[in-house]
Amino acid sequence: MDAKNKVKPKNSKVKYVWGPDVDLDKEVVLDKRGRRITEARAAQISRQVLREVAAGRPSLTGAGKVSPEIKARVPQAMKDKLDREAKKCGVSPSVLIRQALEEYLYD
């Protein structure tokens, strides 16, 4: 047995373990609803998952465009205050930072 195919320890929190490849058109594998997973269905599922994962957050710049990122180092106390304020307002820290920049640059 190689390292990839080890049986998970009894107390492990790992839910799945890599195993040997399976030909889904020859072996019968069912999903949790009891439907058969074929090679074609597995390919369709993986394409769908990749589209969802690759989608990411919507662009702030426009459809089909990547929004630029800005990074800055701040003191821990400022980061803590930003996080508290964002939580209090029910928004992400990024939203507060964008609002602050808009007010500073455009008002």
In terms of C-beta distances under 8 Å and separation of at least 24 residues, what long-range contacts does 60-67 make, across chains too? 60/98
- Whether 85 and 96 have beta carbons less than 8 Å apart is answered as yes
Q: 41 vs 12, which has greater pLDDT?
A: 41
- Whole-model pTM? 0.47
Q: What pLDDT is stored for residue 93 in this prediction?
A: 95
Task: Round the average pLDDT of the chain to a whole number and report it.
Answer: 84
Lowest mean pLDDT among 5-9, 14-18, 32-36, 52-56: 5-9
Report the 10 Å Cβ neighbour count for 64: 6
Q: What pLDDT is stored for residue 12 in this prediction?
A: 61
